[in-house]
């Protein structure tokens, strides 16, 4: 009676192993909803993979992984003097802080002179990070204040295959800043880009941070299903639902598990910019999941319509006469965005 | 500090270079005489009345238009660890007033260095095709800062290959003649840095009775005959004798020690001949020629060794074998030249390369198209 993520464990682990083996510097990203798996489980899996470092998104997430993974814990969100800190249960030496402003670097070193630090360089994404000039100033500062600098981080936008020029500029800035480090932490480079970067900077240690391409990189190993909880035959004009709608034609109302609390109907918009793609996102059950729009639930391989906006834990679908009507207790497939879905159960074989 | 830029006389220019440890010979006023087909100008950077930088500008005319590419080969001579915006702006203002549609320069700033052993390993390693794929001995922050600033100021890096303004090489091979602490190396030390083949060949030439001497202006004809022979054998286009005569006279007039002709004879036969250039503490092997007959007496190795020793005796700190390509692919025809140079020991050096600043977008674009057509 639940929204379930079923994982072909052998296939999934084979994929994880192949990614990790291909890249000994890999840093698995374990954040947010844990890509649907949960961050504690991913931290355990990272232990199984044998990596030395994992990355979480925020300081709040540290407590969920500190027991499950014994290595270094990098926090991707920048450290701020006013923000949350690592839990006291955690040995200070295990945390690697990301610092994105010169003022923060000073404040952190004042508070914890032996803090482990990664400096973030601002990329074309313009989210967090230092300019080339700030990075140089940081280099001068670190001449005076011997800190544990663990590298420089770049968080690149998702433009596959087009990053190398930008990365070369950014690495040149790192060289120019004379920082006492030879490690680069980079996200979102394609394998060929990564190989070329490593070739041009053989004197640097490149550590790719990988989330989606690792955990969700083999979609065939993952299956999401919802349980059919109830089936009601309806005639045209019948009233149903929270909002007292009427049925437009004869068919069946299907009640399935999976509602807004799971993230159904609340998917993050996908990054495709075309109008068609945006329209499709809405149709799949975006925030405007009102009226008879396409739902992410499929019956016999065909997407079905929402009868009304999803409820908190269940959704009501409309099935016109014609197709096979699934029985109560049967599982139907659901297409979800894993980073925005909370599953009731994760079954890994 | 905000310097100003104005033209200076050849004498002021010469005196400025003489007061520095070294500068590229392509930045001496004498070089203007060698490149007589282009208008040349000496520029000085002044700060509070003091000359603090100098550049030799060659104005290369665009076909059919009275506009020029202002070219400063391996220059200008500046302290490059400065705020380049403030230093380059007065130069470009001046060059624009002289009719330049664009500026090309080659900051003599090192970005990376590799040892001879690393280059050798790179050639042997199938997984390595280019010099840049080997972790360098040193990656220069000063070089990175020059690149950073030039990019920010709108300069564009050039991948130089032949054409209208055949670029100066971005990769060169040099033998340091002083150690890291700045102490002079001995002959034995430099010899010990060479590979076994080089040492054996130097000994072989000595035993065979090869005699290396310095020539004079009247020996240029003999050099040129051998050079033309080499050009035919190695399939490159030789420069005319007059080019070397002009170069010899112009550089020699500037400083009697600036240019030296070297001749290696075996019995009465000229087996190798070279031209060496020195500015202050920097010595270059500039042109070379060798006979096809009597290769076994190793005249080329003998003449190189004589030049290296002379450079050391003259107080040079660097012996510069000039350009190499960055290929380490053993199947590339250029790799033989690299291997010859690498055998001397020393280091491969990468500089920031040549950079262009378009001053007139339309004419600069036209110039690029013109180059592309010539190239194709």
Tens digit of pLDDT for each residue in B311-355? 999 999 999 999 998 888 888 888 888 889 999 999 999 999 999
**pLDDT, position A165:** 83
User: CA-to-CA distance for B59 and B154, rounded, in angstroms?
Assistant: 21
Question: How confident is residue A243, by pLDDT bands cut at 50, 70 and 90?
Answer: confident
Q: What DSSP element (H or E) covers B230?
A: helix B220-234
Q: What is the 3-state secondary structure (H, E, C) of chain A?
A: CCCEEEECHHHHHHHHHHHHHHCCCCEEECCCCHHHCCHHHHHHHHHHHCCCEEEECCHHHHHHHCCCCCCEEEEEEECCCCCCCCCCCCCHHHEEEEECCHHHHHHHHHHCCCCEEEEEECCCCCCCCECHHHHHHHHHHHHHCCCEEEEEEEECCCCCCCCHHHHHHHHHHHHHCCCCCCEEEEECCCHHHHHHHHHHCCCCEEEEEECHHHHCCCHHHEEEEEEEEEEEEECCCCEECCCCEECCCCEEEEEEECCHHHCCCCCCCCCCCCHHHHHHHHHCCCCCCCCCCEEEEEECCEEEEECCCCCCCEEEEEEECCCCCCCCCCEEEECCCHHHCCCCEEEEC
Which residues are CB-neighbours of B267 under 8 A, at least 6 positions away? B209
The better pLDDT of the pair B358, A289 is held by B358
Q: What's the pLDDT tens digit per position in A48-79? A: 999 999 999 999 999 999 999 999 999 999 99
**pLDDT, position A289:** 43
DSSP B61: E
Average pLDDT of chain A is 90
Question: How confident is residue A124, by pLDDT bands cut at 50, 70 and 90?
Answer: confident
SS3 B335: helix
The secondary structure of chain B in percent helix, strand, coil, rounded to multiples of 5, reads: 40, 30, 30
Cβ contacts of A176 on chain B, cutoff 8 Å: 141, 144-145, 147-148
Comparing CB atoms, the residue among A132, A136, A203 nearest residue B139 is A203
* Cβ neighbours around B248 below 10 Å, total: 22
Q: Percent of chain B having pLDDT more than 70?
A: 97
Is A173's CB within 8 Å of B151's CB?
no
**pLDDT, position A280:** 63
| Smallest CA–CA distance from A136 into chain B, residue | B145
Question: How confident is residue A158, by pLDDT bands cut at 50, 70 and 90?
Answer: confident
Task: Tell me the torsion sign for CA atoms B113, A163, B160, B324.
Answer: positive
**pLDDT, position B183:** 94
Interface test with B, best of A165, A172, A178, A195 (most B CBs within 10 A): A172
Is B148's CB within 8 Å of A203's CB?
no
| Smallest CA–CA distance from A198 into chain B, residue | B133
Q: Give the closest-approach CA distance of A198 to chain B in angstroms.
A: 8
User: CA-to-CA distance for A93 and B107, rounded, in angstroms?
Assistant: 44
Q: Give the closest-approach CA distance of B329 to chain A in angstroms.
A: 15
**pLDDT, position A232:** 96
Per mean pLDDT, which of A122-126, A160-164, B282-286 is the most reliable? Answer: B282-286
Q: Is B150 on the interface with A (CB under 8 A)?
A: no
Interface of B with A in 200-239 (CB under 8 A): none
Q: Give the closest-approach CA distance of A111 to chain B in angstroms.
A: 30
User: CA-to-CA distance for A134 and B246, rounded, in angstroms?
Assistant: 51
Comparing CB atoms, the residue among A172, A199, A203 nearest residue B144 is A172
Is A202's CB within 8 Å of B133's CB?
yes
Is the pLDDT at B61 greater than 60? The verdict is yes
**pLDDT, position B242:** 96
ipTM value = 0.82
Considering only CA atoms, give the Rg of chain A: 24
Is A200's CB within 8 Å of B133's CB?
yes
Among B241, B223, B300, CA closest to B266:
B300
Residues β-bridged to residue A234: A251
| Segment B136-148 mean pLDDT | 96
| Segment A100-105 mean pLDDT | 97
**pLDDT, position A271:** 60
| Smallest CA–CA distance from B133 into chain A, residue | A199
User: CA-to-CA distance for A181 and A255, rounded, in angstroms?
Assistant: 57
**pLDDT, position A290:** 43
Question: How confident is residue A190, by pLDDT bands cut at 50, 70 and 90?
Answer: confident
**pLDDT, position A269:** 58
**pLDDT, position A272:** 60
Interface test with A, best of B119, B142, B144, B326 (most A CBs within 10 A): B144
CA A264 to each of CA A6, A39, A282, A304, A306: distance values in angstroms, whole numbers, following the listed order: 17, 20, 12, 14, 11
| Segment A316-330 mean pLDDT | 91
DSSP B327: B
Is the pLDDT at A10 greater than 70? The verdict is yes
**pLDDT, position B219:** 97
Comparing CB atoms, the residue among A132, A200, A203 nearest residue B148 is A132
The better pLDDT of the pair A268, A104 is held by A104
Comparing CB atoms, the residue among A169, A177, A178 nearest residue B151 is A169
| Segment A151-174 mean pLDDT | 85
Counted across chains A and B, CB pairs separated by less than 8 A come out at: 30
Cβ contacts of B136 on chain A, cutoff 8 Å: 203
**pLDDT, position A273:** 61
**pLDDT, position B159:** 74
Average pLDDT of chain B is 93
Q: What's the pLDDT tens digit per position in A287-303? A: 344 456 789 999 988 88
Q: Is B322 on the interface with A (CB under 8 A)?
A: no
DSSP B219: G
Q: Give the closest-approach CA distance of A178 to chain B in angstroms.
A: 6
Q: Is B183 on the interface with A (CB under 8 A)?
A: no
| Segment B161-173 mean pLDDT | 69
* Strand B269-279 with A4-7, pairing: unpaired
User: CA-to-CA distance for A17 and A48, rounded, in angstroms?
Assistant: 9
Is B147's CB within 8 Å of A172's CB?
yes
**pLDDT, position A315:** 95
Q: Is B151 on the interface with A (CB under 8 A)?
A: yes
User: CA-to-CA distance for A96 and B87, rounded, in angstroms?
Assistant: 41
Cβ contacts of A200 on chain B, cutoff 8 Å: 132-133
Q: Give the closest-approach CA distance of A24 to chain B in angstroms.
A: 18
Q: Give the closest-approach CA distance of A140 to chain B in angstroms.
A: 13
Cβ contacts of A165 on chain B, cutoff 8 Å: none
Considering only CA atoms, give the Rg of chain B: 21
């Amino acid at each position: 009676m639940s929204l379930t993520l079923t994982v072909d464990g052998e296939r999934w682990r084979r994929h994880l192993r192949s990614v990790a083996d291909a890249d000994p510097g890999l840093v698995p990203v374990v954040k947010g909803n844990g890509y649907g798996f949960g961050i504690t489980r991913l931290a355990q899996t990272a232990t199984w993979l044998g990596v030395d470092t994992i990355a979480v998104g925020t300081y709040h997430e540290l407590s969920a992984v500190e027991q499950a993974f014994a290595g270094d814990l990098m926090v991707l969100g920048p450290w701020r003097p006013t923000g949350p800190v690592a839990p006291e249960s955690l040995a200070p030496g295990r945390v690697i802080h990301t610092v994105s402003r010169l003022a923060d670097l000073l404040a952190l070193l004042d508070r914890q002179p032996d803090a482990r630090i990664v400096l973030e360089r601002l990329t074309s994404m313009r989210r967090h990070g230092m300019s080339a000039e700030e990075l140089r100033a940081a280099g001068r500062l670190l001449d005076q204040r011997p800190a544990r600098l663990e590298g420089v981080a770049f968080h690149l936008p998702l433009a596959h295959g087009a990053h190398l020029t930008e990365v070369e500029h950014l690495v040149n800035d790192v060289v120019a800043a004379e920082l006492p480090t030879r490690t680069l932490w980079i996200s979102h480079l394609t394998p060929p880009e990564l190989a070329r970067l490593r070739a041009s900077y053989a004197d640097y240690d490149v550590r790719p941070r990988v989330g989606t391409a690792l955990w969700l990189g083999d979609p065939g190993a993952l299956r999401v299903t919802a349980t059919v909880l109830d089936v009601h035959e309806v005639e045209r004009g019948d009233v149903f639902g929270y909002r007292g709608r009427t049925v437009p034609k004869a068919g069946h109302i299907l009640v399935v598990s999976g509602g807004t609390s799971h993230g159904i109907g609340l998917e993050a918009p996908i990054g495709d910019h075309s109008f068609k793609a945006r329209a499709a996102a809405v149709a799949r059950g975006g925030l405007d999941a009102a009226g008879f729009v396409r739902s992410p639930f499929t019956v016999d391989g065909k997407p079905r319509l929402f009868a009304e906006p999803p409820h908190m834990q269940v959704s009501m679908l409309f099935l016109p006469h014609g197709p096979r009507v699934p029985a109560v207790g049967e599982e139907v497939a659901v297409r979800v965005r894993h980073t925005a879905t909370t599953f009731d159960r994760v079954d890994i074989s | 500090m905000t310097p100003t830029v104005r033209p200076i006389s050849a004498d002021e220019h010469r005196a400025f270079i003489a007061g520095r440890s070294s500068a590229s010979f392509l930045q001496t006023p004498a070089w203007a005489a060698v490149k007589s087909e282009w208008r040349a100008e000496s520029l000085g950077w002044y700060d509070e009345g003091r000359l603090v930088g100098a550049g030799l500008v060659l104005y290369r005319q665009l076909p059919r238009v009275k506009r020029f590419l202002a070219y400063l080969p391996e220059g200008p001579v500046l302290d490059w660890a400065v705020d380049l915006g403030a230093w380059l702006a007065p130069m470009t203002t001046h060059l624009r007033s002289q009719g330049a549609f664009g500026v090309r320069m080659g900051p003599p700033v090192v970005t990376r260095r590799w040892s001879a052993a690393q280059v050798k390993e790179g050639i042997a390693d199938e997984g390595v095709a280019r010099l840049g794929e080997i972790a360098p001995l040193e990656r220069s922050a000063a070089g990175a800062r020059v690149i950073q600033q030039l990019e920010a100021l709108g300069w564009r890096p050039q991948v130089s290959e032949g054409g209208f303004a055949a670029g100066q090489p971005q990769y060169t091979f040099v033998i340091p003649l002083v150690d890291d602490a700045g102490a002079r190396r001995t002959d034995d030390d430099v010899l010990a840095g060479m590979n076994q083949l080089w040492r054996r060949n130097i000994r072989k030439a000595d035993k065979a009775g090869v005699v290396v001497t310095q020539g004079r202006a009247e020996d240029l004809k003999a050099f040129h005959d051998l050079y033309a022979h080499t050009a035919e054998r190695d399939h490159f286009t030789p420069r005319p004798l007059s080019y070397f005569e002009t170069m010899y006279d112009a550089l020699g007039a500037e400083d009697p020690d600036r240019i030296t002709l070297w001749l290696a004879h075996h019995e009465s036969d000229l087996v190798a001949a070279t031209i060496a250039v020195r500015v202050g503490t920097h010595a270059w092997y500039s042109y070379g020629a060798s006979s096809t007959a009597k290769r076994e007496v190793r005249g080329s190795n003998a003449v190189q060794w004589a030049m290296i020793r002379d450079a050391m005796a003259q107080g040079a700190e660097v012996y510069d074998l000039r350009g190499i390509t960055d290929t380490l692919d053993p199947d590339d025809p250029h790799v033989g030249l690299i291997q010859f140079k690498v055998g001397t020991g020393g280091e491969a050096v990468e500089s920031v390369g040549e950079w262009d600043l378009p001053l007139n977008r339309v004419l600069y674009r036209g110039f690029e198209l013109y180059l592309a057509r010539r190239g194709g």
